[in-house]
Amino acid sequence: MAEFVRYPDPRLTVKAVPRPMDAALRATAERLVAAASDVQAYGLAAAHIGEIEPLVVISVAADTAQRDYRVLFNPEIVGTANAGQAGPEGSVSMPGIEAPIERPIWVDVAYDTVDGGRVVTRFEGFVARCALHEIEQMNGIFFLGRLSRLKRDTAIRKFQKLGRTQ
């Protein structure tokens, strides 16, 4: 079973720097996919497993019972919908805590593929939410940073009460 970095670990607020594809980055991607599979996560950023690397994995499966992970190397948001929708978000780094966050209903993401090509893909609905959430995490923005101070403080107190901090 994968070990995940827990809030308030400072690695969750470090921005990954884009870099060329190499064997080490591919190996990190394999570990990240394995960790996501272990817990059936909808997505993960490398920071969740303690590595500050420019990659995320997201599940692009329509069937939420079966995950089909796509690895996004050096992802960047290149477009978003003007329309948004609020939905619950959480993190493997803060289990037991969820909060509603407003996100665009679609997002265009440019990223490198495992074979080194650069593509742009539009993700919609829940998959767009996951992509945005994980890319923000890769950029050092933990989901609590999207909450008001009151909601953030409430979430932190609840997490501490659950006794899940390291």
Q: How far apart are CA 6 and CA 110, in angstroms?
A: 29
Q: How many residues does the chain have?
A: 166
Catalytic residue chosen out of the listed positions 51, 53, 134, 136:
134
pLDDT in tens, 89-131: 999 999 999 999 999 999 999 999 988 899 999 999 999 999 9
Of the candidates 63, 147, 55, which has an alpha carbon nearest to the alpha carbon of residue 109? 55
pLDDT in tens, 41-71: 999 999 999 999 999 999 987 666 678 899 9
Q: Which are the contacts of 44, defined by CB distance < 8 A and separation ≥ 6?
A: 32, 35, 36, 56, 57, 92, 134
Q: Which are the contacts of 134, defined by CB distance < 8 A and separation ≥ 6?
A: 43, 44, 45, 56, 57, 58
Helix (H) or strand (E) holding 37: helix 23-39
Annotation says 76 is catalytic:
no
Instruction: Return the CATH number of the domain spanning residue range 10-162.
Output: 3.90.45.10
Q: Which are the contacts of 27, defined by CB distance < 8 A and separation ≥ 6?
A: none
Q: What is this structure's pTM?
A: 0.94
What percentage of residues in the chain have a pLDDT greater than 70?
A: 95
